[in-house]
Amino acid sequence: MEEDPDASESDASPVASSPPARPDLAPRRPSPSNLAVALLSLLSLSLGPLTIAPPAKADGLGRVKASATLRYGSDMEGGGPYAYPDPRSPREVTGFEVELMAMLGKELGVAAEFSQGQWDKLLQVLSAGRIDAVVNGYEWTEARAREYAATRPYYVYQLQLLAPKGSPVASWEDLKRPRPDGRRWTVGVLVGSAAERFAAEDGGSAVDVIPFDGSTDAMLAVQNGQSDATLQDVPAARFYRDRYPGLASAGPPVSRGYYVIYTRAEDASLRDALDRGLAGLTASGELRRLYEKYGIWTEAQAELDAFSGPIEVASGDGVARGWRLINQYSGLLLDAAKVTVILATCSMPLAMAIGLVVALARLHGPRALQPFLTGYVELIRGTPLMLQLYVLFFVLKLPRWVAGIGGLAINYSAYEAEIYRAGLQAIPAGQMEAALALGMSRGMALRRVIVPQAVRIVIPPVTNDFIALFKDTSVCSVVTLVELTKQYSILANSTGGALEFALAAATLYMLMSVPLSWFSRWSERRLAGDLKGGEA
């Protein structure tokens, strides 16, 4: 990504009947504390007017033609009708965008090749030079258009509100009225999407916007009763209406915008070639036939004929960079860091307590219980944390904070149980025998003699797990909790400041983990001193 790249001739060309470009919606941010801002300001010395400049590459169109392959990034997790596994041949990918890129590849005389990537990181993959273009329901925004070369729109999207059948929510306007029970309406959206920005701005204080990693996750949450409604792009809403029969469209579509194909800014020749291809498909009617095939043609698509080139970027100073960019969004970063701290500090004590109980029960508990505890440890260690969170949130339908904290605690308890078991087994058997000989009960001997020594032994590995847990909180985005890593991803995707926000997030993670290392060393010295004093 480059800072304000020079526009190509196609950039400067006028747009026939093109609506004025709307500036990005600036997210509201709370005022951060002076201390937190001072900590983040450590980055300003190294950032300054930082930009991310990709290495020089050959002409984009020439490179694609030379390789005879047009690699485009998309995400099958987002599902239909964009790109999804073909039911008739699951190893193949289908979708209206997959077919669109095949058509454009044919126009260029090359083969279009699908490349899987996480939706909210596709532009970063593009900047890294791994792919030639991004096409996955990516909306045109001014911030993105300043960083990347965008084609003319290939689809005019609108947003459709979906609510449970029989719900009091009959349209988007109903969500602007107070909820009868006094709480806020909860609306699920795809994270980083136009629906999220629209809902946050237009919904006001009556709407709590819940970001999901996938459109289908948001729909499932509404059908489960975990959200009041979901706001989806019309193509996704139409494609999945049969899968979720409990949902119905609530009112007419709202808002509107444009899907475009993005290439790197220096690949304007490739963008222009794709633009010409889209113009030809629109004029020939092939684009309409493709959309009718997938049931996503709407009257709004008639606007596509009015475009003679890419949407122009409004003149202005562009997006801030370096320290200015971090300072602008520091409130959001700090809020996300608070979520990370809450998740880690609430789940780790639970994990340690559960782990210690499991370890003690396996070594000193009833024999009949030990196989079940061993199975618990192996089951939790043998399955991914994301899957465990998914079960807690979508299957058991626990509240997101309960699912997030509980999922982390359960997952880490299995690892802590093995650490404590190793620590307990490291204590010589003679310690227990001596305690029993002195008249202590087995329980008292464990509390007074065995466990305190084992705790001292396991402090380093437990602290290491605690530090690792801070990073593993990033998986909690699957239960709609926006912690530090997810907020970094959102901001990097929406502003293009990938390196700035990566450094800011790394700094905040360091501020969380370094004190734990200090505490670990202090605790070891303190316990070592207590033990020596007891021996004396």
Does the structure show a pLDDT above 90 at 491?
no
Peptide bond into 81 cis (omega under 30): yes
User: Quick check: helix, strand or coil at residue 150?
Assistant: strand
Whose tokens are 């029970």? That residue is 181
Q: At 19, is the pLDDT very low, low, confident or very high (cuts 50, 70, 90)?
A: very low
Q: Per mean pLDDT, which of 182-186, 319-323, 531-535 is the most reliable?
A: 182-186
E-strand spans in 199-315?
207-212, 229-233, 247-249, 254-259, 262-264
Q: Do residues 113 and 133 make contact, with C-beta atoms less than 8 angstroms apart?
A: no
Does the structure show a pLDDT above 80 at 330?
yes
Does the structure show a pLDDT above 60 at 54?
no
405-415 average pLDDT score = 97
Closest listed residue to residue 322, CA positions, set 141, 509, 121, 495: 495
367-375 average pLDDT score = 93
Least confident of 45-59, 149-163, 274-288, 331-345: 45-59
Rounded Cα–Cα distance for residues 257 and 19 (Å): 10
316-343 average pLDDT score = 84
Distances (CA, A) of 151 to 17, 83, 240, 282, 290: 16, 19, 28, 13, 19
233-250 average pLDDT score = 93
Q: What angle do CA 405, 409, 413 make, to 5 degrees?
A: 175
User: Quick check: helix, strand or coil at residue 435?
Assistant: helix
> DSSP H helical segments within 173-255, as ranges?
194-202, 215-223, 234-239
pLDDT, position 29: 38
Going by the DSSP 8-state scheme, the letter that residue 148 receives in this structure is E
Least confident of 63-67, 513-517, 531-535: 531-535
Pair of tokens at residue 499: 């390196």
Q: Do residues 261 and 151 make contact, with C-beta atoms less than 8 angstroms apart?
A: yes
pLDDT, position 314: 66
Task: Give the tens place of pLDDT for each residue, 86-95.
Answer: 999 988 999 9
pLDDT, position 143: 85
Q: At 347, is the pLDDT very low, low, confident or very high (cuts 50, 70, 90)?
A: very high
pLDDT, position 13: 37
Distances (CA, A) of 417 to 357, 369, 420, 463, 465: 8, 15, 5, 14, 12
Which domains can be identified in the chain, with CATH numbers?
Answer: 60-152+258-306 (3.40.190.10), 153-257 (3.40.190.10), 322-529 (1.10.3720.10)
- Please return the burial class of 59, using the count of CB atoms within 10 Å of its CB with bins 0-12, 13-18 and 19+: middle
Least confident of 6-10, 54-58, 342-346: 6-10
* Amino acid, res. 2: E
> DSSP H helical segments within 365-450, as ranges?
370-382, 385-390, 400-425, 429-437, 442-445
Distances (CA, A) of 383 to 359, 372, 388, 497: 20, 17, 7, 34
Task: Give the tens place of pLDDT for each residue, 182-208.
Answer: 899 999 998 888 999 999 999 888 899
Does the structure show a pLDDT above 70 at 422?
yes
228-234 average pLDDT score = 95
Distances (CA, A) of 511 to 261, 495, 498: 39, 24, 20
Q: At 534, is the pLDDT very low, low, confident or very high (cuts 50, 70, 90)?
A: low
Least confident of 13-27, 256-270, 372-386: 13-27
Residues 6+ apart with CB under 8 A from 162: 219, 222, 229, 230, 231, 232, 237, 244, 247, 248, 249, 250
pLDDT, position 319: 60
pLDDT, position 23: 36
What's the mean pLDDT when you consider all of the chain?
A: 85
Task: Give the tens place of pLDDT for each residue, 281-296.
Answer: 999 999 999 999 999 9
pLDDT, position 21: 40
Task: Give the tens place of pLDDT for each residue, 242-280.
Answer: 999 999 999 999 999 999 999 999 999 999 999 999 999
For 209-219, b/e burial (b = at least 16 CB within 10 A) is bbbbbbbbbbb
pLDDT, position 498: 78
| Angle between helices 400-425 and 370-382 in degrees, nearest 10 | 120
Query: Which residue did the predictor score with more confidence, 518 or 276?
Result: 276
Least confident of 11-15, 99-103, 124-128: 11-15
Least confident of 31-35, 62-66, 394-398, 494-498: 31-35
Going by the DSSP 8-state scheme, the letter that residue 499 receives in this structure is H
**Dihedral of the CA atoms 485, 479, 237, 112 (nearest 10)?**
40
- The whole-model pTM stands at 0.75
**Dihedral of the CA atoms 159, 160, 161, 167 (nearest 10)?**
170
